Structure 1
Amino acid sequence: MRNRRLWIVTLAASIVAVTAGVPARADGGFTVAHWAMNEPSGAQVMYDSSGYGLNGSIGGEVVTARDSGDGYGYGFGRLDPDTPPTHPQHLVVVPGYAALNPGDRDFSVSLRLRTPYQFGNVIQKGQATVAGGSFKIQIPGGKVQCWFRGSAGQVLVTAPRPVNDSRWHTITCTRYSTGVAVAIDGVVAASKAGPTGTIANNWPLSIGGKTNCDQVEVGCDYFAGDLDWVQIDAAGHDW
Structure 2
Amino acid sequence: MLAALLTAALTAGSVLVPTPAGATGQAGYTVAYWRMDEQPHATRMLDSSGNGLEGRIGGEVATGLTSGDDIGYHFERLEPDTPPTRPGHLVVVPDDAALDPGTNDYAVTVRLRTRNKFGNIIQKGQATVAGGNFKLQIPSGRVECTFRGPKAFLEVVAPYSINDGDWHIVRCVRVQQGVALMIDGQQVAARSGWTGPIVNSWPVSIGGKLDCDQIDVGCDYYAGDLDYITIEAAPPAW
TM-score, shorter chain, exceeding 0.5: yes
The amino acid across from 2:5 in the alignment is: W
Instruction: Flag the 1:46–1:152 CA change in 2: closer, same or farther, 3 A.
Output: same
CA distance in 2, matches of 1:168, 1:17: 22
CA distance in 2, matches of 1:42, 1:177: 41
Question: Paired residue for 2:209?
Answer: 210
Question: Paired residue for 2:117?
Answer: 118
The amino acid across from 1:7 in the alignment is: L
* Offset, 1:21: 3.6
Secondary structure of 1:99's counterpart equals: helix
CA distance in 1, matches of 2:193, 2:18: 9
CA distance in 1, matches of 2:189, 2:122: 19
CA distance in 2, matches of 1:119, 1:9: 32
- Aligned residue pairs, count: 235
The amino acid across from 2:214 in the alignment is: Q
CA distance in 1, matches of 2:7, 2:226: 20
Identity %: 54
Instruction: Flag the 1:17–1:95 CA change in 2: closer, same or farther, 3 A.
Output: closer
Whether the 8 Å CA contact 2:4–2:28 is kept in 1: the answer is no
Instruction: Flag the 1:236–1:65 CA change in 2: closer, same or farther, 3 A.
Output: same
Q: TM-score, normalised by structure 1?
A: 0.93
Instruction: Flag the 1:112–1:210 CA change in 2: closer, same or farther, 3 A.
Output: same
CA distance in 2, matches of 1:232, 1:25: 21
Instruction: Flag the 1:10–1:235 CA change in 2: closer, same or farther, 3 A.
Output: closer
Correspondence list, 1:32-71, <5 A:
32-71=31-70
Q: TM-score, normalised by structure 2?
A: 0.93
Gaps of 5+ in 1: none
Secondary structure of 2:209's counterpart equals: coil
Instruction: Flag the 1:202–1:149 CA change in 2: closer, same or farther, 3 A.
Output: same
Gaps of 5+ in 2: none
CA distance in 1, matches of 2:117, 2:13: 29
Question: Paired residue for 1:7?
Answer: 5
